[in-house]
Structure 1
Amino acid sequence: MQAIRNETNADRPARTGWLQKANIQKRLFLLIAIAPAFGGYLLFTLYPNLMSVYYSLLNWNGISEAKFVGLDNYATMIRDKYVWRALGHNLFYMITVPVCVILISLLLAYLLTNKGYKGTKLFKVLFFFPNVLSTVVVALLWAFVYDGSFGLLNATLGLFGIDMGGYYWLGDTRTALAAIVPPFVWAGVGLYVVIFMNAMITIPRSLYESAVMEGAGHMTRLFRITIPLISPIIRVSALFLVLGSLKSFDKVLILTNGGPSGSTDVIGLYMFNLAFGSEAHNYGYASAIGMFLFVVLIAAKLLVDKFMPNQAYEY
């Protein structure tokens, strides 16, 4: 017995050393696996953001010698009425675009999932098609829709006896801001229809059958069963849409470039034009506006967390 005990104790250090070697190999493999992605994050995300903080303290056009000005750029930004005008437009898109996209996507996803329409897979492809198109193509399509001479919108209104007289929807300060919303909604609905449909499919059919036996209609089933059970998916979708509406400026750049008279300008576009526009470049001031946009994004995320808490419903 003593010999067996001694042999077991002798094998224990070898087994412990093998486990330690295996752990080291595992950690080394994980380090090698995440190194490219982590290196890309440091190089293309973290480093530029940190440099933007530094640039925001400079008076610099990107070519001449930079001059340190401290917080002067932020003081100028607070007094800049165009920044606050652009922020107001961002807030308008932040409210209208997510609400429209989520409501339309929920309705379409529910109908396709629960009404038993034929060709549901084809509808999913058709709804998702705008997401395949590039931003430039989407913006140019809607520029054609809004065109005053041969635009689809004016032609459609003409079929109902409404003569717009060559009215250009993107060229009037009264309609340009609202006219930007449909391109955002049209380009975003398809993706969230697919997401919500995949979430609704996981809901047990027995819940709907029980609700039907109790006399519940489609609207009751939608708001009492479907929406509560997929609320975590809706919350994440709302967060992405809110942050995307605040950051996005590419469609506005192509459709109106902030015009007419700045009526569609947004913070991202205003910052872009300051840094890369045809006028005098001001990278320092543009970086300060970028830091302000970063703070707005954090505030928007906190608002979403406050008004849409992460609640999980069980069935």
Structure 2
Amino acid sequence: MNAGINGNQPVVRKRQGTDKAKRQRAVFLFLAVAPSLIGYFLFTLYPNVMSVYYSLLDWDGLTAAKYVGFDNYVNMVKDQFVWRALYHNLLYMIVVPALIVFISLLLAYLLNNKSYKENAIYKVLFFFTNVLSTVVIALLWSFIFDGSFGLLNGMLELFGLTMDDFYWLGDSRTAFWVLVLPMVWGGVGLYVVIFINAMSAIPKSLYEAAVLEGARPMTILFRITIPLLRGVIRVCVVFVILGSIKGFEIIMILTNGGPEGSTDVIGLYMFNLAFGREYHNYGYASAIGMFLFVILVGAKLIIDKLFPEDNVEF
């Protein structure tokens, strides 16, 4: 009997040691994840849940809130400025990501395959735009677009095009399209670095075999490099598209939606409704925020449908 009991003691001790290790591991994981979870609940989940509640109110943030149900959503559907801003968002969503991804891929391909001695310096220069704040980028381009002493008009005059102090941001015909330039300029650098690092992981033997077969550089780019970077390109496209939908900082600083609302976007319209100088309606702004959330989710689902995730091994 004693031998049997003593024989089971190592098993019991081993099980107790395993349970203790599991508890310690659980406590460690909880302590490691808790700060991030607390931050997520306080600054992401809770504000989003409260936005749903605020969207059902008529509230200016100061006086007593009045429950209006779905009136804010009904008014939003009838609001022509919402649909005008959404139209601008859709245009930016098509133009800006296409230019950023195309230019980034081309520059990364050239730097990766030419093996310039200055490649490290080029990486820093391209990434420098992402170090700058949005305010700095916007102010820099405001001087470029200035009609009196702007760099753009000066360069055009060198080619014989006299602009007569034309203000690019002050004309509704040009303001929308010139805003694409700072958006692309500020976003290309990051994706150039990402694509360079992704391309450097592709085996050189694939390129050497293609060169021996007589493939040209553009053929190599579209037949080898881009297909092998589908996963990376997909992630970059998702980030750029979602960023172009909800971003408005550059537009707010350069034009604030003008002239005549020609550059207004959903995020900026919502911001001005909630925090503008003349009008404060947190309830209506929250309803537009929920609409923007639906757009972002829908855009993500469409991207997943058009660009299914696939794993490429090489």
Please give the range of the TM-score, normalised by the shorter of the 2 chains.
over 0.9
The question of 1:236 aligning with 2:235 is answered yes
Deviations 1:103-122 (A, max 9, x none): 00000000000012220001
| 1:10, distance to aligned residue in structure 2 (A) | 2.1
In structure 2, the partner of 1:211 is 210
1:27 maps to amino acid: A
Is 1:109–1:196's contact at 8 Å kept on the other side of the alignment? yes
Question: Normalising by structure 1, what TM-score?
Answer: 0.98
Question: How far apart, CA to CA, are the structure 2 residues paired with 1:289 and 1:9?
Answer: 67
Residue 88 (str. 1) matches residue 57 (str. 2)? no
- Is 2:56 the counterpart of 1:57? yes
User: Over aligned residue pairs, what C-alpha RMSD do you find?
Assistant: 1.1
Alignment correspondent of 2:219: 220
Structure 2 counterpart of 1:171, one-letter code: G
Aligned partners of 1:8 and 1:186: how far apart in 2?
Answer: 73
How far is the alpha carbon of 1:9 from its aligned partner?
1.8
Matches within 5 A, 1:3-14: 6-14=5-13
Partner SS state of residue 300, structure 1: helix
The answer to whether the Cα contact below 8 Å between 2:231 and 2:312 also exists between their aligned partners in 1 is no
Hey, what's the Cα distance between the residues in 2 that align with 1:280 and 1:94? 28
* Contact 1:56 1:288 survives alignment (8 Å): yes
Q: Deviations over 1:174-225 (max 9, x none)?
A: 1111011010100000000000000000000000000001111111110111
Say if 1:228 and 1:3 are closer, same or farther in 2 by CA, change over 3 A: farther
Cα distance in structure 2, aligned partners of 1:98 and 1:239:
9
Deviation at 1:230, TM superposition (A): 1.2
Equivalents in 1 of 2:13, 2:118: separation in Å? 63
Q: Give the number of equivalent residue pairs.
A: 314
* Cα offset, 1:134, TM superposition: 0.5
Cα distance in structure 2, aligned partners of 1:6 and 1:18: 19
CA–CA separation in structure 2 for the residues paired with 1:32 and 1:314? 36
2:307 aligned with 1:308 = yes
Q: Deviations over 1:5-27 (max 9, x none)?
A: 65432211111011101100110
Partner of 2:99: 100
Question: Counterparts of 1:157 and 1:145 in 2: how far apart (Å)?
Answer: 12
The aligned counterpart of 1:296 is 295
Q: Which runs of 4+ in 1 moved over 3 A?
A: 2-8
Distance 1:151 1:285 in 2: 39
1:129-160 Cα distance to aligned partner (Å, 9 max, x none): 11111100000011111100000000000001
Which segments of 5 or more consecutive residues in structure 1 lack a partner in the other structure?
none
Aligned-residue sequence identity (percent) comes to 62
Work out the CA distance in 1 between the residues paired with 2:31 and 2:305: 39
Q: 1:253-268, aligned counterparts within 5 Å?
A: 253-268=252-267
Alignment partner of 1:186: what SS? helix
Aligned CA distance change for structure 1 residues 223 and 8 (closer, same or farther; 3 Å): farther
Alignment match, 1:168:
167
Instruction: State how far apart, in whole Å, the 2-side matches of 1:11 and 1:110 are.
Output: 62
Distance 1:6 1:61 in 2: 74
CA distance, structure 2, for counterparts of residue 229 and residue 4 of structure 1: 65
Name the amino acid aligned to 1:189.
Answer: V
Mapped to 2, the partners of 1:289 and 1:183 lie a distance apart of 26
Determine the structure 2 residue equivalent to 1:111. 110
| Long gaps (5+) in structure 2 | none
Q: What is the rounded CA distance, in whole Å, between the counterparts of 1:180 and 1:309 in structure 2?
A: 31
Amino acid at match of 1:274: L
Which residue does 2:42 correspond to in 1?
43
8 A contact 1:229–1:312 mirrored in 2: no
1:59 touches 1:69 (CA, 8 Å); kept in 2?
yes
Q: Which residue of 1 aligns with 2:74?
A: 75
Q: CA deviation at 1:279?
A: 1.2
What displacement does 1:3 show? 7.6
